Amino acid sequence: MMMNLKVSDQRLMASGFAIFVIAVVSVSGVLNFPNSANLGLYATFGLLALLIVIWRQGLGLTVDDLRLPFTGASRKNPHRLRWWQGALATIGMMVYGLLAVFILKMLQVPIVTNQAAGNAHAGLIMQLFAMLPQVGIEEMVTLSLLLIFSTLSSRWWHLKQHLALGIGLILSTLIFVLLHFQAYQWHLAQMFIVIGGSRLILSGLFLKTRSVGDVFAIHYLYDGACGRFSGLSTSGGLALTVFLRALSS
């Protein structure tokens, strides 16, 4: 899949910079208000809304292009996953997270949990609700950077489609991984193998399905199953370490 963004290079670079700034703000802890958790949640929804505006105005993408979550489209997307394909993809990501953490533990690589997990809103319903903008921001930041890098690589260096997409995939995944440096205390092996691997799976699904909605749903279910219900990390399935630690105890 190659999304041909029909905007100028300058507009793409400006949009990419704005998206990166939003990503940094979302992971910096600026929105963690100690006296008002709800205020931080509202601010996170605000960042998600701003990202959607940038996608539409900065990248020139529409609902029909990507089928954003919670929206309709005037034409069908034949590449979207069936429900059982989505279920298999979610299970596959869980298996990958389990194997990745298991291998790291076998190699005696220190494993840490997401430091942001302790800030989760109390109550299951609030946790699941708070995940909506968090997962949405992660997906929109990473996928937009993937498209921007791919498009600029194709224009500047006249690369073939698969090479341009490869560059976009690698650079967007690298940025996604590095944005987790604070949450995982610079444990590079864990960040690149566990988080980076799961990110490659999600971005690969996006390139196949051309649907942000499908990838968002899989990411949301994955984080909910692997992270929120066990009280540990999201993005990367590190909550599975609970199971591994139980086995080794």
- Is the CB of residue 93 less than 8 Å from the CB of residue 237? yes
Q: Bigger pLDDT: 117 or 164?
A: 164
- Is the CB of residue 213 less than 8 Å from the CB of residue 221? no
Q: Bigger pLDDT: 240 or 7?
A: 7
pLDDT above 70 as % of the chain: 74
Q: What span, in angstroms and rounded, lies between the C-alpha atoms of 27 and 30? A: 8
Which tokens hold the place of 159?
């690369």
- Is the CB of residue 190 less than 8 Å from the CB of residue 175? no
Q: What span, in angstroms and rounded, lies between the C-alpha atoms of 120 and 126? A: 9
Q: What is the mean pLDDT of the chain?
A: 79
pLDDT at residue 37 in the model = 60
Residues with Cβ within 8 Å of 230's Cβ and at least 6 positions away in sequence, in order, are: 239, 242
pTM across the whole model: 0.82
Residues with Cβ within 8 Å of 124's Cβ and at least 6 positions away in sequence, in order, are: 228
